Amino acid sequence: MKYYLRPHHSLCIQFFCGNGYSPEFIKNMQNTINTLDKYDPLVYLTDKCDIICSTCPNNQNGKCISDEKVKRFDDNVLKATSLSTGSEIQWKTLRELAKKEIILKTMLPEICRDCQWLNICTKRNRADDL
């Protein structure tokens, strides 16, 4: 199975704490994280809806209603990690790259500046640093 992943989801996954748009979304997110962490599959970076988007209410007929905003998040992540759409990379390598190049450099507020979930991520990041 191919795992398509929007680049910015490499950050969302690392800060997921059970919040989400709906119970279906939360369950899918947790199952996706469990699968990625257990099997470390090759992921394909995409600029379209991915496995996480599959249960998101913002996914309308395979297109994100916030596409302009999330493409900006994706572009920011790609620039910070020196990756590109279409790149293939092992999940754990991507996770560590996002952590090293974005999270540990405290770039979340810049990368995700108008994300509705940013407050959760920045709070969790500070708590993890203690």
- Per-block average pLDDT, block size 10, for the chain (130 residues)? 94 93 95 97 97 94 94 98 97 97 95 92 66
The domains of the chain are located at 3-121
From 92, 51, 47, select the one nearest 67 (Cα to Cα): 47
- Residue 130: what pLDDT? 37
Distance CA 29, CA 34 (A): 9
- Residue 122: what pLDDT? 85
- Residue 129: what pLDDT? 53
The pTM score is 0.92
Alpha helices, DSSP H, located in 4-117: 9-15, 23-39, 67-81, 91-98, 108-111
Q: Are 69 and 100 in contact (CB under 8 A)?
A: no
